[in-house]
Structure 1
Amino acid sequence: MAYRYANQNEVKELNEWCRNILLEVQKEVSDYFTFDFRLIGSGEKRLVTQNSDEAFDLDYNIILQKDKKGLIDNPKQIKDIFVARFNKVLKGYVDGYSHSCDSTSVITIKIVQNNTLHFSFDVAIVIEADDGYFYRLIHDKKTNRYIWNRIRSSKNYFSKFNEIKKRGYWLDFKERYLELKNMHLSRGDEVKSFSVFLETLNEFYE
C-alpha cells in the first residue's frame, strides 16, 4: 500500500460540500465568534493524497477572529460549542449522521455509507498570535485538558510556499511531499498532512 495523488475533480466536489457545511457552522456560532476558514496543507496546494482505494480526507483550519464572549482562555468551551454546532448542521445534511469526534487536535467528521467510510474531513481550531505563529486548540487526552499549542514551523508558511513556487521548485516539492507521506506511512506514524506539508516546506526553505 502506498499514497498516490487523488483525483482533482473529486477533491473539488468534496471541498465545495465541506465549504457549505463550514458556512452553516459560521452562522450557528455567530453569537460567539467570527472566523475565517481555509483548506490547509495538502488540499490547499493540490497535494491531496489517497492510500490505494481508501477514502481520502480534507483538512481545514477555523481561524478565530472576533471572540464576542471572551472565551479565548476557556478552550474546552470553545471546542464544545463547535462540536455541538457541527453535529446540528451535519444532521441536516446527512441522513443518519451520528456525531462528530472530539479528536486530540481536530474535530473529525466521518461520512459512512453502508458501513464503509466514504469520506472524512478534519477541522482544527486555531488562532494567530502576536508572535506570528499559529496556535491550535488541543485536547490532551492524558490529562483531559484543553490547551492552545503552538504549531511548529507555522510562521509565515504561506509566503514561504509562494517563494518556493517562484523559484521553480513546485514539481520537486510535490515529489518530496509524496516521499515523506509514504515514509511516515511505512513507519506507522500518525502524522497529519499539514504537518508533512510543513516538514517538506522547511526542507526546501532551509
Structure 2
Amino acid sequence: MIHFIEDKKFLGMMRREYSDIVNRLVQNINKDNYLKVEMQMVGSGGRNLETQNSNQPVDLDYNINILHINGDINDCKKIKEYVRKQFNIALKSKGWGDCKDSTSALTTEQRQFKEGNPTSFSIDVAIICESNDSWYRLIHQKTGIFQEDNWIWNEGQDSKGLTKKVNKIKKYNLWNNVRNAYLNKKNMYLKRRDYNHSSFNCYIEAVNEVYNKYFTK
C-alpha cells in the first residue's frame, strides 16, 4: 500500500538534499538565455504529497515548469536534451551520477543517507508547461533507435483550468481533501497494476475530484 511518508526527520533530510539539487538546476537554467523556468513538486509546491509504497525506495517527483523560451517551444528534443545536461551539472556538483532519460522524466540514481532511515530515494524531474489554461508534459517516445525517436508535448487529461481550481481549493482550506484523494488514486492504480499512470495524472484527477465535489453543481 502507498502511504504518505511519516518519518519527519527523514523527510526533512530528503527535502534539503533534493531541494538543493533542483534549486541549482533552476538557477543554472535561468542564468542562461534559453529558458526561464520554475520548479514545482507534484502537488503545486509539494504540499506534503511525498509518498512511499510500503518499504520500497522513494521516488520524489519534481516538475520543471517552462515560463518562457527564446526559441521554438515545439522543439521538444532540444528542450529535453538541454535540461538533461543542466541537470547532470547540478547533480555532479552534489556528488551524484548522471540522470537517465526516461519517457516522461529525467531520473537520478538511488541514494541512501549514511545515518538514520536507510530507505533509498531518487529524484524524477518532468518538464511541463501551461498553454491555453491546460498543462502539458514533455514526452520522449522511444523506438529503440535514438535517431528515430519522437519528442512531443502531451496534454494532461482534464487539466483545463487546473491552476484556477487549485487556487480556489486552497482558498477554502480544502487541501487535505486533495491529499486524501491523491493517495486513494495512487493506491487504486497500484491495485490495478497500472504502472503507467503518473503522479502528474493522479494529481490532476485528485484536484478535479475535490473541485467538482465542492464547487460544481
TM-score band, normalised by shorter chain: 0.7 to 0.9
When normalised by structure 2's length, the TM-score is 0.79
Cross-structure match for 1:194: 200
How do residues 114-193 of structure 1 correspond to structure 2 at under 5 angstroms? Answer: 118-129=120-131, 131-142=132-143, 144-167=149-172, 169-190=174-195, 191-193=197-199
Letter in 2 for 1:194: F
Instruction: Could you tell me which runs of 5 or more consecutive residues in structure 2 were left unpaired when the two chains were aligned.
Output: 213-217
**SS of 1:111's equivalent?**
coil
Residue of structure 2 equivalent to 1:39 = 41
Cα distance, 1:18 vs. partner?
A: 2.2
What is the 5 A alignment of 1:10-21? 10-21=10-21
Q: Counterpart of 1:202 in structure 2: which amino acid?
A: N
Cα distance in 1 between the residues matched to 2:110 and 2:200: 21
Q: Distance in 2 between matches of 1:204 and 1:78?
A: 33
| Cα pair distance change 1:150/1:173, threshold 3 Å | closer
Counting only pairs closer than 5 Å after superposition, residues 16-31 of structure 1 correspond to structure 2 as: 16-29=16-29, 30-31=32-33
| Deviation (angstroms), 1:102 | 0.9
Deviates more, 1:82-91 or 1:26-35: 26-35
Match of 2:215 in 1: none
Query: What TM-score, normalized by structure 1, do the two folds share?
Result: 0.83
Q: CA deviation at 1:110?
A: 2.5
Q: Distance in 1 between matches of 2:84 and 2:165?
A: 32
CA contact (8 A) 1:15 1:58 kept: no
Matches of 1:124 and 1:12 in 2, distance apart?
22
Name the CA distance, whole Å, in 1 between partners of 2:192 and 2:60.
22
Partner of 1:66: 68
Taking a change above 3 Å as real, the CA distance of residues 134 and 175 of structure 1, as seen in their structure-2 partners, is closer
Equivalents in 1 of 2:164, 2:13: separation in Å?
27
1:56-89 residue CA offsets vs partner (Å, 9 max, x unmatched): 2222221122323x14232111111111121122
Counterpart-to-counterpart distance in 2, 1:127 and 1:48 = 22
Identity %: 34
Contact 1:42 1:193 in 2 (8 A): no
- Measured at CA, do residues 23 and 168 of structure 1 come closer, stay the same or move farther in structure 2, by a change above 3 Å? closer
Query: Could you say what secondary structure the match of 1:41 adopts?
Result: coil
User: CA contact under 8 A between 2:4 and 2:51: conserved in structure 1?
Assistant: yes
The 3 A distance-change label for structure 1 pair 155 and 13 is farther
Which position in structure 2 is the counterpart of 1:85? Answer: 86
Considering only aligned residues, what root-mean-square deviation do their CA atoms show, in Å? 2.6
Amino acid corresponding to residue 94 of structure 2 in structure 1: Y
SS at match of 2:133: coil
- Determine if contact 1:65/1:127 at 8 Å carries over to the other structure: yes
Instruction: Give 1:98's aligned amino acid.
Output: G
Inter-CA distance 36–168: structure 2 relative to 1 (3 Å threshold): closer
Q: Distance in 1 between matches of 2:97 and 2:48?
A: 30
